[in-house]
Chains A and B, each alone.
Chain A
Amino acid sequence: MQLLGPDGRSPGSHPAPEELAAFGDRQLGDAETDVVEAHVRGCAQCTAELDEHARMLDMLRQLPELVVPRSFVLDDFAVRRPARSVWPAWVSLAASVVLALGMIGALPRNNGFQFAASSPSEQAAVMDAASRGVDAPESGGGATGGASPSEVQPEAARTQGAAGAPESVTTEDSAIGAAAEVEPVATVTFSTSGAEPRDAATAPEADAGSAAADSVVATVQTDAIGAKTVEPTPDGQGGATTGATWEQSGAQAADAPGAVATAEAPDTGVAYRAGEAGPDEGQQGPGAADETIPATLGILSVLSFASAIFLFLRARLFF
């Protein structure tokens, strides 16, 4: 059994390196100092270690104090300026992004679009269809729209594909010569918020076996092409996998009174009928109060972004 000293070490053992360094730094307590000192007195290795430690410390302590390039004495201007921080810049930048997103979100609603789609892709389809006026929306399929006069087939619509397959329907607005080829692979209902109840047609139910027939309800108002209502009616055999009903109404309903287009899909039994939208059914335009929302958000967004830029520059360059 080995006897230990009062410090817990065997009498001949070396102190821990940190302890020896602390001894050299004179940072040990009195009791610890006495123990280490007693050991070092009879230990050449620790003595050499301490000598080397002392030489290095002596060199470090001789490092000169550097000349200050200027006085750092404070004045009123220095202590009164705002503390340098980039947090306000980040907050401002985040606010500008939020406001910009809010502005983007407010724009379609203000233009008469209201949609509630079950997926972003369907929302995109609704928005795409709305932007093209008579284009039918799609979900999971490739609706193609166009306005080529060569594709105009008045009073007719063509549905392609066998039962159970996505149909392609071409609708045409004779008043403007716009044609659209659609593939109603999902049930999509457009309804105008300001339209008469009779125009808010019910979409044909999707085939029970069509799992992709998600319902999308949307309101489309396309002032450029006037008011019209197109509503599919699944009255045929075989059944389309999906149906599509959309209605367009607008403040310019009077521009195309009686514009009727009927799309029939003999193969699938899907028929699209364009309802007549008279001037009295025209969608009322967005109110003046609604128009100010995106404009206000836009101004706030620009101001916030400019503030963020200013704060970043001030934090990095000027102070």
Chain B
Amino acid sequence: MSSFNLLVERYQGQLYSLSLRHVGDRQLAEDVTQEAFISAWRSIRTYKGGSFKAWLFRIAINQARDLYRRSNRHRATSLDELLEQGTVNAPESALEEGPEAAALSSASLRAVEQCLQKLPPEHRLVVLLSDVQGLTYDELTETLGLPLGTVKSRLFRARTALRRLLLETGEL
């Protein structure tokens, strides 16, 4: 289990961030993250190689769907509360841009977070997986369990909707 916990420590931030932005509730996101790691540990024998991150995210998405359906909590976390949690592992690009760019980036990131929360869940999820978590198309098909064509079209529609929202807010 200690070896598996190394993976937990490596991916828990990404998994929790994905879960919180996806389900919109901090307690639910904690449950999703914990249950996903437990489920991954129990079914580690079914992992046949490939992208561990995609496999883990798929488990988390299934857990989120089950827990969200069971729970009465529905996106109780406000955007402010979500942003107040701070960041770790900030992208290098953000650190390299200097104080002025970082301040601008902070406002822009806030706008992006707001726009993301306005997307329909399935659009938000595919954008989170692809553009925030950086999964490839193949990993998207594995994580979402969808054909490549469906993934492409869904991602395109999601990005189009997000771009429209960002243009309305003046961020693009």
- Interface residues of chain A, those whose CB is within 8 Å of chain B, are 17-18, 21-22, 25, 27, 52-53, 55-76, 78-79, 83-84, 86, 315-316
User: Interface size (B, Cβ < 8 Å)?
Assistant: 56
Please state if B87 and A65 are interface contacts (CB–CB under 8 Å): yes
Please state if A66 and B113 are interface contacts (CB–CB under 8 Å): no
Q: How far is the CB of B34 from chain A (nearest CB, A)?
A: 5
- Interface residues of chain B, those whose CB is within 8 Å of chain A, are 1, 4-5, 8-9, 12-17, 20-21, 26, 30, 33-35, 37-39, 41-42, 70, 82, 85-91, 93-94, 105, 108-109, 112-113, 127, 130-132, 134, 136-137, 152-153, 155-156, 159, 162-163, 166, 171-172
Please state if B85 and A66 are interface contacts (CB–CB under 8 Å): yes
> Which residues on the B side are within 8 Å of A22 (C-beta)?
137, 152
**Total CB contacts across the A-B interface at under 8 A:** 125
Please state if B38 and A67 are interface contacts (CB–CB under 8 Å): no
Give which listed residue, B4, B91, B163, contacts A64 with CB less than 8 A: B91
Please state if B137 and A62 are interface contacts (CB–CB under 8 Å): no
Give which listed residue, B30, B153, B171, contacts A59 with CB less than 8 A: B171
> Which residues on the A side are within 8 Å of B26 (C-beta)?
69
Q: Which B-chain residue is minimally distant from A59 (CB atoms)?
A: B112
Please state if B132 and A72 are interface contacts (CB–CB under 8 Å): no
Give which listed residue, A60, A72, A79, contacts B131 with CB less than 8 A: A60
Q: How far is the CB of A188 from chain B (nearest CB, A)?
A: 52
> Which residues on the A side are within 8 Å of B5 (C-beta)?
73-74
Please state if B155 and A316 are interface contacts (CB–CB under 8 Å): no
Please state if A66 and B156 are interface contacts (CB–CB under 8 Å): no
Please state if B38 and A69 are interface contacts (CB–CB under 8 Å): no
Please state if A61 and B132 are interface contacts (CB–CB under 8 Å): yes
Please state if B13 and A68 are interface contacts (CB–CB under 8 Å): yes
Please state if A61 and B30 are interface contacts (CB–CB under 8 Å): no
